[in-house]
Structure 1
Amino acid sequence: MKHIVSRDFVAPRAWGSLPIAILNGTTVKLHWTDQPYRWHVNDGEEVFAVMDGQVRMHYREGGREHSILLQAGDIFYADTGTEHVAHPVGEARILVIEKEGSV
């Protein structure tokens, strides 16, 4: 049993994580960051849920770049092959569910 207060989690570096579970090859991690990630494509699907703060998610679809502002409670789903990058607005805590070993 684990009880995690996500808004209290702080990592020693941007995108540091707290592993929560591995479910049949799928990882569940809580990330803390105050810095953008990098453009990337996962080798599987990804669920990205903002727990605290705001994150501007940039993604490319049909050769065009788009962005949306995610608030606490919002979820972004990246299908396999979706190029994307997350830019927090200040500090943010994000629950990421993805294939084990994914970028």
Structure 2
Amino acid sequence: MNPIDLKTALESFDDAWSPRIVAYLNDYDIRIAKFAGEHIWHVHENTDEFFLVVDGEIEIGLREPAGERTVTLQQGQVFVVPRGTFHKPSSKLGASVLLVEPTGTLSVGDQHDEVPGHVDVTTGHVAV
């Protein structure tokens, strides 16, 4: 029941693609993560996914009925990937991102490409 300083929480870990849970809101995790390089194409069948760029810039590739497109988010911008949409987050120069997802949501979704070693398959680690 104390305030969470996002800067301090982000400084407490270095691993990219390994989200940390900083708070809980009803049945949702408030997670922070560092993005560097590419994640994988994946989909969350039953939930939207909220992204807020805290620092840096990210791209989110989207596979939609009309074809593929890429959304670029700068610091301070938000975007919601709708449930059932294959997406692939990435960051060329590195970024810090706040995510909102239902508790227990896997970082690689319900369906995904092969998971490389640099992507942590997790439901989030509790931030210290």
Which residue of structure 1 lines up, in the alignment, with residue 77 of structure 2?
74
**Pair 17,9 (structure 1): closer, same or farther in 2 beyond 3 Å:** farther
Q: Higher Cα Rg: structure 1 or 2? A: 2
Structure 2 residue corresponding to 1:101, chosen from 93, 101, 104: 104
Q: How large is the RMSD of aligned CA atoms in angstroms?
A: 1.9
Q: Aligned residues, how many?
A: 103
Does the 8 Å contact 1:47/1:78 carry over to 2?
yes
Q: Distance in 2 between matches of 1:92 and 1:9?
A: 12
Contact 1:7 1:51 in 2 (8 A): no
- Which residue number corresponds to residue 33 of structure 1? 35
State the shift of 1:53 in Å. 0.6
The structure that is strand-richer by fraction is 1
TM-score relative to the length of structure 2: 0.72
Unaligned runs of at least 5 residues, structure 1: none
The within-5 A match list for 1:3-22 is 3-5=5-7, 9=11, 11-22=13-24
Runs of 4+ in 1 over 3 A off after TM superposition: none
The CA deviation at 1:10 is 6.0
Q: Measured at CA, do residues 8 and 98 of structure 1 come closer, stay the same or move farther in structure 2, by a change above 3 Å?
A: closer
